[in-house]
Chain A
Amino acid sequence: MKTEAGILKNVKSVEKPKQELLKKMKKYWQLYLFIIPALLYFLIFCYIPMYGIQLAFKEYNPVVGITKSPWIGMEHFTRFFRSYHFRTLLLNTLSLSLKQLLFGFPIPILLAIMLNQVRNEKFKKTVQTVTYAPHFISIVVLVGMLNIFFSIRGGLVNEVLNFLGKESILFMGEEKYFRNLYVGSGIWQNMGWNAIIYLAALTSVSPDLHEAAVIDGASKWKRIWHIDLPSILPTIVVLLILNVGQIMSLGFEKAFLMQNSLNIGKSEIISTYVYKIGLINAQYGFATAVGLFNSVINFTLLIIVNKIAKKISDTSLW
């Protein structure tokens, strides 16, 4: 009897969580109504396209559809890797995004730290309001503004160059300026906005730390280096991981809009190539393969960086 009771107790404790979950589900079934539309959205518009990735390994035939098109293995991939575009595309994509990471990532951190040192609230607010604003300008308008300011016909930048006794430069039409213009305009547009998150992290630094440091005679510079920076480091690491994970998925729109026949040697990146080959030339299978190559590299980078970050700083996405 005793053992039986023991067994029963065991069985009960195993089944208890399961039953309790069911009970909970029953009691709170209405909560599922809240999330069903969203789940359907993700299923249809995110997971069905993922299923469509099989196109990368198929010869697409629009008559029979994706699932019934014949498999061709890695043919699209080998064709892509062997094409003379491959090297240039990869190089252009990586150089552009590394440049963007190198300059675009630290500047918002600097801006946040500098703003955090300003005690005149009015000045601080003004700088914040003004630097956030360009974030809301559309990419079309931003590239339009680039065309205006860097135009060879009376563009402001060339006016300044002329004033300094230099020749005008065809900025928008020369390969070597493409990356600088792309990265520079991105910084102009987003530095304020990207600084918000660091500023918020900085405001949560305990004032006691700073007070104690002041009493010990630490200069502002030292306090930034030894108090401010370490306390926003976790935020920096998380954002860095996210940024590295996006390294190959550079904004298609901006590169596409800035692209012209003169700068194509540097401005053709993987995403613009996928657009042209896929939607303009309708080579669906091949374009899907190129796109997949892109997202697999991205995803792998994300996982690697996350792992490294976990090892050296204990901060990670998961």
Chain B
Amino acid sequence: MFSQDFQRQSTGDKIFDIINHLILFLVLLLVLYPLYFIVIASVSDPNAVSAGKVWLAPKGLNIKGYHAIFENQDIWSGYKNTILYTTIGTMVNLAFTVPAAYGLARKELVGRNIFMGMITFTMFFGGGLIPTFLLVSKLGMNNTMWALIFPNAISVYNLIVTRNYFAYSIPEELHEAAEVDGCSEGKYFFKIAVPLGKPIIGVIVLMYAVAHWNSYFNALIYIRDRHRFPLQVILREILIQQEASSGFGDAASVIEQQKLADMLKYGVIIVSTLPILCVYPFIQKYFTTGLMMGSIKG
């Protein structure tokens, strides 16, 4: 920490540096500790957790919670559904977003400012919950996965970021040269634009996939059958609604139930968030390159 750079500074700057590092270190702990706590609580003895004895390391190693999760049919089917919705949903997102972003990035597209205006307007004004709900019902998408996919086929923000990436980081000469060589628009898109746009496509894949994985509201209003519930709706029952529903039976069994429920809570957070945390480091390096290239010049 006390590098040459640091030694050369004035006393004021040294104090600044120390305080700055201290605060950032506290921020780091503040963000990290709750996440860490969930992990250690998930493998600890529920008694120790609810007695407040678990602080820095797991106590009374216990993976009953995970056993309960694997035996829970709702979680399994929720997981399966979420994987399905996320995969298909993200593919639909890409099919709608990437070609449009590319087309709107091209100067030769007559009327592109009008199209952009039309699209940007929807960011700030919309029909609202009820008209959208009635439309989705009218389209017959109620209680199907399409209600979770098509009404959110494009995120305007992702579209604009991708468009800007295509517009500013792929040299125009490349297209001119391809045109001279008789390359068709479609071929140019698939053979040149998409491969060059990989960083930004990587970013929006992550953004879209995470949005699908985490979304629960659309499922709440459109999906009625229990076997079609995505994971987040099941999670809501376990993490949030359970407090109210666990109050039956004699005192001892209520406490027993509560303990198991508390146990399930920690594990289920981990199991449901794990897939995202696994992908995150791989795509993180693209955040600054891809996202910034796209947004700043907009």
Contact = CB atoms under 8 A, between A and B. Distances in A.
Q: Answer yes or no: do A and B interact.
A: yes
A291 B295 CA distance: 30
Interface string A26-44: 0110111111011101101
A117 B20 contact: yes
Given A31-B109, A138-B232, A143 B239 contact: yes
A50 interface: yes
A278 B130 contact: yes
B194 to A, nearest CB: 12
A298 B121 CA distance: 13
A145 B108 contact: no
Given A46-B122, A145-B34, A138 B97 contact: no
A221 B20 CA distance: 11
A81 interface: no
Q: Name the residue among B23, B130, B184 with the largest chain A CB count within 10 angstroms.
A: B130
Nearest to A256: B217
A31 B185 contact: yes
Interface stretch (A94-102, A174-182, A193-201): A193-201
Interface in B154-185: 154, 159, 184-185
A181 B150 CA distance: 33
B126 A49 contact: yes
Contact of B99 (A37, A131, A287): A37
Given A126-B28, A133-B277, A149 B239 contact: no
Interface residues of B, number: 94
Contact of B10 (A136, A143, A144, A219): A219
A167 to B, nearest CB: 15
A52 B27 contact: no
A115 B24 contact: yes
Q: Is the interface of A mostly helix, strand, loop or mixed?
A: helix
Interface stretch (B56-64, B66-74, B280-288): B280-288
Contact of A25 (B3, B35, B110, B269): B110
B288 A196 contact: yes
Nearest to A283: B130
Contacts of A221: 12, 16
Contacts of B131: 48-53, 55, 66, 288
Contacts of B243: 147
Contact of A38 (B35, B97, B129, B235): B97
B272 to A, nearest CB: 7
Contacts of B129: 271, 274-275, 278-279, 287, 291
A62 B38 CA distance: 48
A72 interface: no
A302 B124 contact: yes
Contacts of B251: none
A45 B269 CA distance: 33
A50 B106 CA distance: 29
Nearest to A62: B134
A48 B133 CA distance: 11
Contact of A34 (B20, B102, B216): B102
A123 interface: yes
B83 interface: no
Given A47-B122, A154-B50, A278-B129, 16 more contacts: A30-B186, A33-B99, A34-B99, A34-B102, A35-B104, A49-B132, A138-B232, A138-B273, A141-B269, A144-B269, A159-B52, A196-B288, A196-B291, A219-B16, A220-B13, A295-B125
13 contacts: A34-B185, A41-B154, A42-B118, A45-B153, A52-B132, A118-B20, A138-B235, A144-B238, A148-B38, A204-B296, A221-B12, A257-B236, A284-B134
